[in-house]
A and B are shown apart, each in its own frame.
Chain A
Amino acid sequence: MNELVEFISNNLQLLYILILAIFIGVELIKNVPSVLHTPLMSGANALSGVVIVGALLVMLQAKPDDFLSLGLGFVAVILGILNVVGGFVVTDRMLQMFKKKK
């Protein structure tokens, strides 16, 4: 119990951010028309590519003789940027089609 209290008091700011972000996410999506569900899912998928920032941090902090970290980080950057670029381009292509008509 003490540990839990300690954890909460150490990470209070973090918990606030987490909970507020959860509510923002829910509120943003709640009333979206079903027409946009697929592009929205695709757009959200592109955003989850933000994990690339972590992959970059791995690469930036890796020692030049630490081949394991460098190698895994290298693949992680490729996968992350694939998620980002692919996600945004696909979403854009889908939305392009919505724009054309009218």
Chain B
Amino acid sequence: MTITLSIIYLITTIAFVIGLKMLGHPQTAKKGNLISGVGMGLAIVATIFLHDFEVPSINYILIGVALLIGTILGYLIAMKVAMTKMPELVSLFNGFGGGSALLIGLVEFGNFSEDATQTSTIIAAIIIGSLTFTGSLVAWAKLNGSMKDIRMPNYNLINNLVILALIAFGAYIVMYDSTNLLLIYLLLAASLIYGVLFVIPIGGADMPVVISLLNSLTGIAAAITGVLYGNMVMMVGGILVGSAGLILTFIMCKAMNRSLSNVIFGAFGGGETAMAAVGKTGGTIKKTTASDSAILMNYASKVVIVPGYGLAVAQAQHVIHELEELLTKKGVDVSYAIHPVAGRMPGHMNVLLAESNVSYDKLIEMDNINPQFPNTDVVLVVGANDVVNPAAHNDPSSPIYGMPILDVENAKHIIVNKRSMNAGYAGIENELFFNQKTSMLFGDAKSALTELVNELKNM
């Protein structure tokens, strides 16, 4: 490695740290992303041109073609996708990173067979790379709706046995048979299958946590391949992502008041408890119309909007902003209550509402808005369900018992917009809908809100 290359890697590493730091503040975030991007570009260009190997020109051509294909494809996918689809896109790109790590491990296996440390890093890169690859793809498929949660009986036990077997298998290869290609393909297949098994039973409401965790694992895979090459920028960059992703995972778990092991191993809906919860609710619901809701809101002095994933699905973020502006003009105090895990990713609602130019200070976080609900005249819940389910407070048998929620039932009136009476993404009944103060406004979020806006305009 030439000294110039080492210095450029050092600059890139510094760019990563500064970029990540700046990403943490709203004013500097955009610049931070740019800085780490430039750092990455530098590292890539320097790796290609500043090395001391003898490289045949055909390899250069292939590298150029691969870079060109990937850049164009990545750019197009990233630019074309709608803002509501962000979570699955992050998951998809993350899977690509994992796939890259596993292929590197595959190529390098056998090249370092005499050194146990290096064989272990290769094995680790293959296992982690494979499970993030298939795991992220499953997460992607589940988020875009083309794959459902599947829970086998005893999947916890099965998954734990599979991961232990994988580790034991890897250790066996390192110790006894570090040149056998057949074994490495077997290990590869088993790790790919484990990635599927790992993500498939996890409930939709827990998806943000899983994506964050997979993201962290991809970082670790990159760091491990960095150890293999003694490459500092891969090592430090990978570890940064690994630890940042992990801490983000814990922050999210905390927002749901659950431990990480509970998310992974105790996925929602051990069938019996879910059944019990369904049995307990019931009673009658009160339907309402757009014009009744409009009257209610028109004469309110304080309205709080609770957005959820339904808002994203219906692409109703612009209509809801229109509603908010209209009410504000009529002298109503309007704000948005943002639950930390509303939507499919942390901050999902913030991104969505920012797209329709909702002002920053109207978005109130859970701990600050909860004391305000008793003074609120109308709460409008749009496509949110589990984050406003009072069962989290008063039903110990509920799978979400103990999760902090938005205490909307303290408000004077609650209007819930939903497409139908189907249970939420976590598959749990919501007794809020049967509350005396609740009225249900059925319909797709976009058309229901448009109707509401039109009614308000006529008043």
Question: B240, A64: Cβ atoms under 8 Å?
Answer: no
Cα A7 to Cα B227 with chains together (Å)? 14
Question: Given A59-B59, A101-B354, A18–B235 Cβ distance below 8 Å?
Answer: yes
Mark out the residues of chain A between 57 and 89 whose CB falls within 8 Å of any chain B CB in the assembled complex: 57-64, 68-70, 72-89
- A41-59 CB mask vs B (1 if < 8 Å, else 0) is 1111111111111111111
B243 at the interface (CB under 8 A from A): yes
B236 at the interface (CB under 8 A from A): yes
Question: B355, A57: Cβ atoms under 8 Å?
Answer: no
| Residue numbers in B under 8 Å from A87 (CB-CB) | 78, 90, 93
| Residue numbers in A under 8 Å from B93 (CB-CB) | 45-46, 49, 82-83, 86-87, 90
What residue of chain B has the Cβ atom nearest to residue A43's Cβ?
B23
A12 at the interface (CB under 8 A from B): no
**Closest-CB distance, A83 to chain B (whole angstroms):** 4
Question: B30, A95: Cβ atoms under 8 Å?
Answer: yes
Question: B94, A82: Cβ atoms under 8 Å?
Answer: no
What is the size category of the interface that chain B forms with chain A?
35 or more
Pick the most buried of B97, B211, B255: most chain A CB atoms within 10 A of its CB.
B97
Question: A82, B96: Cβ atoms under 8 Å?
Answer: yes
Question: Given A72-B107, A84-B74, A53–B90 Cβ distance below 8 Å?
Answer: no
Contact partner of B71 (CB less than 8 A), chosen from A54, A85, A99, A102, is: A85
Question: A56, B63: Cβ atoms under 8 Å?
Answer: yes
Contact partner of A40 (CB less than 8 A), chosen from B24, B70, B83, B348, is: B24
| Residue numbers in B under 8 Å from A83 (CB-CB) | 74, 93-94, 96-97, 100
| Residue numbers in B under 8 Å from A24 (CB-CB) | 17, 240, 243
| Residue numbers in A under 8 Å from B71 (CB-CB) | 81, 85
A17 at the interface (CB under 8 A from B): yes
Question: B26, A33: Cβ atoms under 8 Å?
Answer: yes
Mark out the residues of chain B between 215 and 235 whose CB falls within 8 Å of any chain A CB in the assembled complex: 215, 218-219, 221-223, 225-229, 231-235
Question: B94, A48: Cβ atoms under 8 Å?
Answer: yes
**Closest-CB distance, A98 to chain B (whole angstroms):** 5
**Closest-CB distance, A82 to chain B (whole angstroms):** 4
Mark out the residues of chain B between 249 and 303 whose CB falls within 8 Å of any chain A CB in the assembled complex: 251-252, 255
B247 at the interface (CB under 8 A from A): yes
| Residue numbers in B under 8 Å from A40 (CB-CB) | 23-24, 244, 248, 347
Cα A98 to Cα B223 with chains together (Å)? 31
A-B contact count (CB 8 A): 356
Cα A98 to Cα B44 with chains together (Å)? 29
Question: A81, B248: Cβ atoms under 8 Å?
Answer: no
Cα A34 to Cα B232 with chains together (Å)? 31
Question: B346, A50: Cβ atoms under 8 Å?
Answer: no
Mark out the residues of chain B between 379 and 427 whose CB falls within 8 Å of any chain A CB in the assembled complex: none
B459 at the interface (CB under 8 A from A): no
| Residue numbers in B under 8 Å from A25 (CB-CB) | 20, 239-244, 246-247
**Closest-CB distance, A5 to chain B (whole angstroms):** 14
Question: A88, B104: Cβ atoms under 8 Å?
Answer: no
Contact partner of A101 (CB less than 8 A), chosen from B53, B58, B359, is: B359
Pick the most buried of A31, A72, A73, A90: most chain B CB atoms within 10 A of its CB.
A90
**Closest-CB distance, A87 to chain B (whole angstroms):** 5
A29 at the interface (CB under 8 A from B): yes
Pick the most buried of B65, B225, B233: most chain A CB atoms within 10 A of its CB.
B225
Question: A21, B236: Cβ atoms under 8 Å?
Answer: yes
Contact partner of A46 (CB less than 8 A), chosen from B40, B67, B75, B87, is: B40
Question: B107, A68: Cβ atoms under 8 Å?
Answer: yes
Question: B235, A64: Cβ atoms under 8 Å?
Answer: no
**Closest-CB distance, B438 to chain A (whole angstroms):** 27
| Residue numbers in B under 8 Å from A72 (CB-CB) | 103, 106-107
| Residue numbers in A under 8 Å from B59 (CB-CB) | 59-60, 62, 64, 70
User: Can you list 15 A-B pairs with a CB-CB distance of less than 8 A?
Assistant: A28-B20, A34-B365, A37-B252, A38-B346, A39-B347, A46-B93, A47-B219, A50-B222, A51-B101, A51-B218, A53-B47, A57-B231, A73-B107, A74-B66, A91-B23
> Given A48-B94, A59-B66, A100-B354, 10 other A-B contacts at CB below 8 A?
A44-B20, A50-B241, A53-B226, A54-B226, A55-B104, A57-B47, A88-B37, A97-B354, A101-B359, A101-B360
